[in-house]
Every structure is written in structure tokens, then in C-alpha cells.
Structure 1
């Protein structure tokens, strides 16, 4: 019996009521039923320090080991994030730094789709562009089209966190379809 494909999601915002957390939930709800989905949380991961990473030490911090195990179970990733200072939020970048180290990196060679929502006008375009060198280093397969850049998110989600913009929902569906196709080797 063949196991289901699994997609792991990462949300770059730790804020309660985050539009990006809402977007990740929307994306998960749009996945086909035969795709397993899990969110990898990283709010308890320490700041990256090579002195606490392999092979310098015998064991990484427990929170890092658990985070990397979730990532290792993925066939593909969805990264949903706001844009901080025209780039990747520090907490998310730190978590990926922990996950990217070593020949056993759980992110190597895997497909990834990036999406973002913001209350501003640019829809996280700079954050998404900032990920390209990270994906190159990890030899990942980024699904670049269609771009999911949700500007003025406050006008596209209702109070319950539902995405109400049908055009955006269709673009997300297309992006997910491309990600699923990219994960089938």
C-alpha cells in the first residue's frame, strides 16, 4: 500500500490572528484529501549557534530535533509568511537555518511553494524574492508560478479567518496543484 504524500507548512508569523496563519489554513483546506498536511511550529527554537549543531556536538537541542523530524517527513513544503523589513522574518529564517545544516538537511531537494499576505500594497513580493538564495543553497525546487501575493489582506479575510476573495482562492488552488505535481517524482 502506497503512503499518502505529505506537505508540511511553515508560517512566518507567530502573531495570533495572523493573516498568514489564516492563509496557511486556507491552503491546507484546499489540498486533496489524499495529501497529508502538518504545520511545523518553530516558536521554541533557539537562535542558531553552530556550537550547538552537529557535528560540533552530539545532539541538537530537542526543539530543533523535533522540528527537523517533522520537516523530514515532508514530500513538499508550503511556506506562508509576512514580509519584515523587505525580507524573511527572523524567526522563520532562523528555523530554516537550523533545518538547512548538514548533509541530513530535511529540506534538501524538495519542492516548495511560498505565499504571503500583508495589509500593505506589495503582497510580500520582497520576502518571496529573498527566499530564492535559500532555495538555491538547499537545491530545492521552488514552485514560482502562479505567485500568491495577497495585498490588503484585511479586505480579503472575514472575521472567522475565511478567505473571501474567489480569484485569490483559484490562484492558490493552481499553486497547490503545481506543488503536488512537483512532489511526484
Structure 2
């Protein structure tokens, strides 16, 4: 099977590419999981985050944004000692901040999914890139979403991170055109 060239022969990466990456996500809990993971990925490789995903799940209460929003400084210090995750104070504090703001968006729009998918009129953007080097690190749309998130107070959600998030949750389909996951619809 032909896959996107960024996929190594690591079984975890293959499973992620084949079963998750680029598939549209509408569930707020899953959207928050990816939001948190992508914010920790900033400056690192995705495979690093993927290999630590279960550790993140355990450390961050199964990505329960309601619980995370209530974390205090004691919990931050505990997380900073957890060798199974990325121990970056700014990113940990951003996760707590973003969990609170995530809930604000849910109140305003009925769900985070409603907010996010409105940027693409509820339909994934289908790109048809031929090679990985054709895929941009960010787009006007990721700039727009990142700007709105920043205005709302989100941290570690710049345009490049937002674009990676958009790819992961299927807002955009960036499987290269000869990948078996590419859909022409």
C-alpha cells in the first residue's frame, strides 16, 4: 500500500496514519485531545508525541478538559516531574488555560466542533498535493483560526500548530494524491 511519505515503518506511525490522521473528527473530547497533543508537539516531531500519547492520557486525566481546567500549581509541579510526557511548564500551563477557553467556546457555539467546522462550512478542505514537499506548513485558513484562538487567549496555538491540528482532525485532507487514504470527494 502506498502511504504519505512522512510515515516511517514504525507500526505506531502506520496505525496513526491509516486509522486516524485526516479523518474528520466532530467529537469535542477527541478534538481537545488533539488540541492538547499538538500544542505539546510544537518544536518536536509528531512521532515523539505519538510515542508518549498514552503517558499524556494518563497524566492528563484521559484528556478530560473539565478536569484539566481545574488543575492547580501543585498539579503543574507534579506534571513537571512526569518523565513520560513533555515537561515544559509553558505548555503544561497552556493546556490548563486552553481547557478553560475550550469550554468558553463550547458555551458560545454549542460545541467546539461547531466552532471549528464553521471555518470550513462543515466540509473538509480536500487538497491534492503530489508530494510531501508540496504540503505547506500553514495556510491562510490556519492563520485565520490561529488568530481567532489567540484573540480568545489560547496559547501554543500558532498557525503552524493549528495547521497540523487541522490535518490531524480532518479539517483538511492532506494525504498526498497517491496515498491509499486520499479521497477524491
Q: How high is the TM-score relative to the length of structure 1?
A: 0.29
Greater fraction strand? 1
Name the one with the larger helix percent. Answer: 2
TM-score by length of 2: 0.29
